[in-house]
Amino acid sequence: MSAFATGIQVGPYVLMEHIGEGGMGEVWKARDTRLDRIVAIKRLKGEHNSRFQQEARAIAALSHPNICVLHDIGPDYLVMEYLDGQPLKGPLPPEQAIPIAIQIAGAIEAAHGKGILHRDLNPANVMITATGAKLLDFGLARVMTSTDADTLTVAGAIAGTAAYMSPEQAQGKTLHERSDIFSFGAVLYEMISGTRAFAGDSMAQVLSAVLRDEPADLHSHAADIVKRCMSKDPAGRFQSMSEVKAALEQVSTKPAASQPSIAVLPFANMSADKEQEYFSDGLAEEIINALAQIPGLKVIARTSSFAFRGKEQDITRIAETLRVKTILEGSVRRAGNRIRVTAQLIDAADGSHIWSERYDRELADVFAVQDEIAAAIARTLRGRLESELPAARQYKPTLPAYEAYLKGQYQFSKYTPEGLSRSRQLFEQAIRLDPKYLDPREALVWSELHLVVEGVQSAHDTVPAMRAAVHKILELDNANARALSTLGAIAAYYDYDGAEADLRFRQAIAAAPADYGIRWRHAILYLSPVLGREEEALEASAKGIELDPLSVFARAMRCHWLNLAGLYERAASEARAALEIENHWLIHYVMAEAYAARGIIDEALAEAEEAYRLAPWHARALGVLAAVLTRLGRGEEASGLLTKLESALPFGMMLYHLLVSDIDAAAHWFEKSIEQREAFAVIYFRAPILRPLRESPRWPALAKMMNLPEQV
């Protein structure tokens, strides 16, 4: 067959329409007669057949929603998904350009994760479809060798499209991941500006511009990102596509110009008794909770807002860090049965007071003060909000119960086993003091859920009482969002009832659409493991950082979910940045798992040892550390850890056997994890780290035990 033509049958495919011509081949729209679907067929010209297998291997190794799918391979042609769309063209407004850029970056990140360089990234190789951007044409893709995994020599040849080449590619020098990053920067520049970064009337002029010229200034929030991508010196660029994507996501999460936003700083404790700090903190947190229920108002979570306690920082700088336009600060003085509360709403742009008030009240009126402050803020921002004033508190508890609850919240915020245990005692005390007070009941169930998920408590020992407590809350308030979402969580990881989980989560979201925590649990316990919609879990984790940017826990959960999505390099990169906030055990664990999954053992050991030092009770950290020690030939040290693991929840032991490639034993412990209803059996269900287990003969029975699909 010397040429293709309409109507010709190529294998099981009938050619329909010629849709493209490139330097290496022609592309046809065709019908797959076996599956009755439309596909695209690419036939390489004779002189390029040597690259044929290369492209096929490159595409086949990749699985990503923003990379064109390879369906089949013939003697001299590729069969790919047919994309109904248009090649990427600029200029595009920022609200379109940045999301597309993030998708392209994710596709390249996935390729780099497989050791594949694209080498020909340009707008023509990005198709914009109804479902988003698709990266195609890996005809010049090359696989980085195991002996030189960071570089690739291009034998003196200049390959690629001149205007988008990196300087080192234009000179026929050694290539690496940063070469694709340069090309990505040139594509992003054109996407935003509508003009090429490097122009000329001939290839020689274009290559000269690539090597010597700087493109015209770009007027965009992403200008610094583009400039750094296109640094002539590879050392001056982002060092990985994971870093590029993270930087773009930071741009995308900046609040829109019209969106009102607020951070409530911890109220200063002006009481003579410094032990009253829990009370001033609690007052501020209750105001945060009230404001968070207002649709259209971005409210920074407690952890980030309270990070500035005792720090003399300019209001404008605080607002820039938290990405908000207004700041609420105040103070509380408590003396006997009297309180004095002052509050000021400040415009972060110039530090001016938008609103301020002082409240001198009886202690019993503290609830009215909270409602009045929230209502005053809503009135002040009313012109930019989607709703009327926030609802006033429906139930006013007794003061002793309220104080016990505030002390419990204070302990819970520490998020340590000791703090969680003490908070549980205080919540139970608050319930005894006022059985109709729902806040401590909700908080108690919430804390129990955390203890079970983290493996501190057994699900079988905890869930029956938790379920009863939830139903008690629903007897008092049948539309309580947190109670409904807890039933959703129990249905997902304990009952393995996906339909019930989805129903309960949807009811909860309808009752509290602004509650981020509910949406997060819906994503990680149902949408991602059951439906395979991992992008929604990633979006929810990004939203968590937007609302709580200084929370090391929010960032740890984000990095953990990047691990579960197989984005190990990016998880480690974001985790390293999170350590600047706090030296938290979960961050080190996430990094240990990311390195261990990729076989980077020395780095995995350092992180696993630190995670174990900070959280010796954590079974997964124990499992990863024991596995790394075993792989390094330090079996005696690993043996001591395995003894501890035998009395812990089984998922840690499952991880150990998985990472040392004892798949049958891993299946045994995964089955035990299912029997004991560890939440991570569900959460890890589709994770790449479990691929060897999913490929084993034991997997169908394990999936059936959880009522989850056998094929992932």
Give the mean pLDDT of 463-467. 94
Q: Is 619 helix (H, G, I), strand (E, B) or coil?
A: helix
pLDDT value at residue 118: 87
Same domain, 209 and 106: yes
Structure tokens at 115: 């050791």
Looking at the predicted structure, is the pLDDT value of residue 360 above 70? yes
Same domain, 360 and 331: yes
Q: Beta-carbon neighbour count of residue 462 at 10 Å?
A: 17
Which residues, 6+ apart, have CB-to-CB distance to 517 below 8 Å?
482, 485
Residue of 382 and 362 predicted with greater confidence: 362
Give the mean pLDDT of 168-197. 90
Domain C-terminal end among 27, 61, 81: 81
Same domain, 274 and 367: yes
Q: Total structural domains in the chain? A: 4
Evaluate whether residue 685 is within a structural domain.
yes
Same domain, 238 and 265: no
pLDDT value at residue 692: 95
Same domain, 240 and 319: no
Rounded distance between C-alpha atoms, residue 341 and residue 327, angstroms: 16
Evaluate whether residue 614 is within a structural domain.
yes
Same domain, 133 and 167: yes
Evaluate whether residue 574 is within a structural domain.
yes
Same domain, 123 and 30: no
**pLDDT band of 455, cuts 50, 70, 90:** low
In the DSSP assignment, the letter for residue 196 is: -
pLDDT in tens, 420-432: 778 889 999 999 9
Evaluate whether residue 566 is within a structural domain.
yes
Domain C-terminal end among 373, 393, 413: 393
- What is the rounded average pLDDT for all residues in the chain? 84
Rounded distance between C-alpha atoms, residue 558 and residue 545, angstroms: 8
pLDDT in tens, 185-243: 999 999 988 888 988 878 888 898 899 888 877 767 788 899 999 999 898 899 899 98
Q: Which residues pair with 331 in a beta bridge?
A: 268, 342
Domain C-terminal end among 33, 51, 81: 81
Same domain, 213 and 341: no
Same domain, 76 and 101: no
Evaluate whether residue 68 is within a structural domain.
yes
Looking at the predicted structure, is the pLDDT value of residue 255 above 80? no
pLDDT value at residue 320: 83
**pLDDT band of 168, cuts 50, 70, 90:** very high
Q: Which of 33-42, 152-161, 295-304, 700-709 has the lowest mean pLDDT?
A: 152-161
pLDDT value at residue 253: 55
pLDDT value at residue 24: 61
Max mean pLDDT range (102-116, 203-217, 528-542, 665-679): 665-679
pLDDT value at residue 256: 47
Give the CATH number of the domain where residue 195 resides. 1.10.510.10
pTM value > 0.85: no
Evaluate whether residue 433 is within a structural domain.
no
- Could you tell me the residue range of the domain that residue 557 belongs to? 548-712
pLDDT in tens, 394-424: 788 898 998 899 888 878 876 666 777 788 8
pLDDT value at residue 70: 80
Same domain, 217 and 112: yes
Q: Which of 428-437, 550-559, 638-647, 694-703 has the lowest mean pLDDT?
A: 550-559
pLDDT value at residue 582: 85
Looking at the predicted structure, is the pLDDT value of residue 252 above 90? no
pLDDT in tens, 580-628: 888 989 899 999 999 999 889 999 999 999 999 998 988 999 999 999 9
Burial class (CB in 10 A: 0-12, 13-18, 19+), 373: buried
Evaluate whether residue 398 is within a structural domain.
no
Rounded distance between C-alpha atoms, residue 608 and residue 602, angstroms: 10
pLDDT value at residue 487: 95
Contact yes or no for 170/205 (Cβ under 8 A): no
pLDDT in tens, 631-684: 999 999 999 999 999 888 899 999 999 999 999 999 999 999 999 999 999 999
Give the CATH number of the domain where residue 618 resides. 1.25.40.10
Structure tokens at 699: 């997997």
Residue of 247 and 470 predicted with greater confidence: 470
Same domain, 58 and 186: no
Evaluate whether residue 429 is within a structural domain.
no
Same domain, 135 and 203: yes
Phi-psi region of 323 (alpha: psi -120 to 50; beta: other; left: phi over 0): left
